[in-house]
Structures are given as structure tokens and as C-alpha cells.
Amino acid sequence: MRIITILFALVALPVVAASPEAVQGKNGMVTSRSALASEVGVGILKSGGNAIDAAVATGFALAVTYPSAGNIGGGGFAVIRLENGEVLILDHRETAPGSASRDMYLDADGDVIRGLSTRTHKASGVPGTVDGLLLLLQHHGTKSRKEVMAPAILLAKDGFPLTRNLAAQFARVLQAMAPYPASKAKFSKNGTPYAAGDVWKQPDLAATLEEISKKGRDGFYKGRVAKLIVAEMQRGNGDISLADLADYRSVWREPIKGTYRGYDIWGMSPPSSGGVLIVQMLNMLEPYDVKALGWGSAQLIHLMVEAQRRAYADRAEHLGDSDFYNVPVATLTSKAYARKRFGDFDPDRASDSEAIGAGSWPEESAETTHFSVMDGKGNVVALTTTLNSGYGSKIVAAGSGILLNNEMNDFSIKKNVPNQFGLIGRVANAIEPGKRMLSSMSPTIVTKDGVPFLVTGSPGGSTIITTALQVIVNVIDHEMTLEDAVSLPRFHHQWKPDSISYGKHGISPDSLKILQQMGHRNLRAARWGRGFGDANSILYRDGVIYGMKDPRNEGAAIGY
């Protein structure tokens, strides 16, 4: 009963979410998009669990309390630093169903069928979240499934009062969910929108979580729950089969490692493009005195945009699932390649994206959520998880409470045709059965002399990578506090379209004028709030753990 009282009280925590100061702790920290989920994670730490236990508990809680991106019907990536200094990464990204084919979203004329890869049952890849969270717990956790899943089950079963933000989200997506009775039943009161303060219960999801708690991965990938997912697929001509679910496996991969001004940068390897691109862009920036150029100056924005332009061009050509395509990771992340790639940089003039192709050498992937966890022993988890679009395909598998993802849109469904985030792909990211779609998710851990220093990541589609990059540069180059590094406006360029988007008030009028004189075109201020990204981050310094919830959204950093 005590946990319910605490969780209900946390609904009234917008002050924590919007605080300009980082939260401090000595023993542990969780920062996430949901105050309820952060409290669940910290509760696990306080009960003797480590950061991996807390991350798994937080992940399952987010599936209940932040359904637009928290999930058990999607997938994600985790970067983990263990107390012995070892860094591991787990790929639990979704996979293409066994019946998938390269041109499955094209009509007879070879044109893309609008909405087929985003708003239908055929948009879903085979979910990986449950397998990934359970594998993390099995290999590096200290608590049982029952212990770490109990808070999420309680939240789903007994419900929690909706914040104004969540109630408004439900109202916005209700029309898109109208064709799907199970979605309408879960996210409304018989078609009437929920209001802030209404207690929202999810009995079907609670039953599904209980099944996983009792039976492990078989409680999701086999048996009753798997049959409910496949029955939903069959109702809407989807592709996921019982065999696809039973065969799904997460993959431990080699982390991407780079160095930047004496710090070690640890990130995800393909099928994430984030680790490669962050290291590549840092390599391009390292020869320049970023601090002297000054945060917000036209000269620094120009420098970073040109690095972003070249890195995203390489993403389109060279990045995909390394189990299916020979991704040249070592080359793309080498400092020698960065020097060559940036050799045509003009400090006074913008490049033309049409003239910037992918790099070459002699032969030899908006709605996601990121959370960061650290315990007092030095275990660290950076975990980013997603359904792709907000609320995924908007389809709930009837009887299960599970929102289905629309990750198939992250494949290159046709060469040089952008996905919903404007990202272009080619052969490396073409659809194949069992293949993982390319992602922009960029959970990142930075260490200094083997000690944890910074943990970051973000949602935001194509802007995820540049958000994480700017948090890192803000802390290392500009020597900012964590609150400033996370809170200040950001800018983004992704090669094509050839435009710079930036957070509201993020570029001064003088800098805008200079950038335009340099030849940068299509500079666009965000029309919403404070701009893009939700970089829930942790900084460790002098024995103190600092946690910062990105003030752009709800949530909380909670430490003790």
C-alpha cells in the first residue's frame, strides 16, 4: 500500500521535472520521462538492487506509465558499465518478420504505399523489449523477475491518476485509434477522453506483465500472450507469426568506443547509427578549439553543422544491420577517416548537401524515450527504448494491453525515399527477413580514466544523435553544469533535407544573419515549446551523482 501512496503523490511533481537544478545523490540515481517510473527504479536501488535491476524495473514501469514510448511491444538498446569497469551493449531492437520482403511497401508501379509502413498491422517488427530486459536482469541483475516487475504490475492493475500531459496525449491520438476497438478501450472511457486526475487502469496489460513475471520470456514469446499478438496480426493482415516470436533473440554486441579530449566515449554499434555517428562527429570536432569559438556562435554552429552534414550522408550509405551488411565501423570511427572526411571543410562557407555524398575509401534510425541509471558501486545503464512513432502503430493487440510498434518504417523501404523522420537509406538498410532496422537511438556512457563521468541519450528520431552530441560537447568543451548542458537549446542538421532546425531562441538574430551569409539556408526555429530532445542524463563528479531530467518534458530525476 505504501508504494501506491508514494506513486500517487508523485503525479504532482511537475516542479521536479522543470527544476533548473540537477538532483544530487550519493547512492543512486534514476532519471526518466516518468516520475512514477523513476521512483520505481530508485525503490529497487534502495532495496539493495543494482543499476541493472533498477533499469529493468524502470523499463517495465515505463510501459505502464508512459505508453507513447515506454513499451513491451517495441525494442531498444542498452549500454551498460559494470562496477568492474567492463562496458557491454545489448541490442534488443525489433526484427523484420520472416515473411518480410524488400519491396513489401511498394505498389505495382514501384511507388511507396502511403501509411502502410506506419499506420497498419504490417508496420510492426517482432518486439524485443521483453527479451532484452529479462536478459539484462538474468546476466547482470541481482533481484528476481517478481521483485523488479511487481511495481509495474501494481501500477497497471490498481492504476494511477493521469497527469494533464498524458490525458492530453490520449485525447490527441484517440481519432487515430478509432478503427481499433482494443486501442479505443484502453485509451478512453468508452470513446470519451480521459481527463487529468482520472485514475487509469490497464487490467489486460497487468495480466500480460504477470504472465512474464511468472514464466519469463515464454510468458511473452510463447503461450497465451503470443497467441493474442498473432491473432491481432491476422485480424489486420499483419506479418508477425508465432514462429517469429518464438525465434526472437536479443544480441550482445561489441560497443563502439571512441576518444575525445581524454575521455572515452561508449555507444551502440549497428543496427544503431548513434554510436558510430557520435564518435565520427567528435573526431571531426576534436582538432578545433570548440570552447574558444563560444557556445551559440555562428562559427561553432557552422562547424558542428558541417560535421553533422557529412556524418548523416555516411549514415544513408553505409549503416545498417551488421549481421546482414558489412558495415565499415572501424573506418567510420577512425580519426584518420574523420580528417579526410572533413578535409574540404570551409570555415567561412556552408557546403551544399547535393555536393556532399557519402565518404569512400579503398576496399578492405520522434517518439522514443531514454533513461539513465547509476548506483553507488559504479554500475551504470543508459537505455533507450521505442515504438517508433508516438504510440507506435496506434494498434493494441486485443486482450493483451500491448501497443504494437511501427518500426518497419525505419527500414529503407525504397532507395533514397525518406522515412517519417526525413532520413534517407539505401541497400545497407533494405528490408530482409529477420533483419534489424537501422536506428538513431544513441544511449551513451562517457568515462574518464575508467571512472563513469556522463550518461546520456534522448528520443527524437533523427535528432537523437545530435542531441546526445551536444550534451557531450556542452559538458566537455564548454565545461557546463549538467543542468545547463541538458537545458540549453539545440540545433540539428541531417544532410538531407539541407536545413538547420533549432530550439526556440536557440540561435541569436546576429548568428542567424552570419549563418545565412555563409550560405546556410532553410534555418527553421522549432514551433513547439523549447525544441527537440529529452536528454535525461547523469553526471558523476567528486563522489556526487548528479541527475537531470530534461525540462522540455515531464518526468523526474530522483536520487538518494
Rg of the chain, C-alpha, whole Å: 22
Phi-psi region of 545 (alpha: psi -120 to 50; beta: other; left: phi over 0): beta
The pLDDT assigned to 412 comes to 87
Please say whether the beta carbons of 549 and 21 come within 8 A: no
Amino acid 416: pLDDT = 63
CB 278 within 8 A of CB 311: no
Grid cell 548537401 is found at 353
SS3 content of the chain, % helix, strand, coil (to 5): 40, 20, 45
Specify the pLDDT at position 504.
Answer: 81
For the chain, the structural domain boundaries read 17-252+369-425
pTM of the full structure: 0.93
Which pLDDT belongs to residue 363? 37
Cell of 230: 498473432
Is 368 among the catalytic positions? Answer: yes
CA distance 430 to 319: 10
Nearest to 335 by CA among 274, 442, 444, 258: 258
Residue type, 133: L
85 CB-contact burial (10 Å; exposed 0-12 / middle 13-18 / buried 19+): exposed
Q: How far is CA 507 from CA 22, 291, 478, in A?
A: 24, 17, 17
CA 319 to the chain's CA centroid = 17
The size of the chain, in residues, is 560
pLDDT-flagged residues of the chain (< 50): 1-19, 360-365
Dihedral, CA of residue 552, residue 553, residue 555 and residue 559, to nearest 10: -10
Question: What are the pLDDT digits (tens) for 182-205?
Answer: 999 999 999 999 999 999 999 999
Pick the catalytic residue: 368, 385, 444, 467?
368
How many other C-beta atoms are found inside a 10 Å radius of the C-beta of residue 1? Answer: 7
pLDDT score for 505: 81
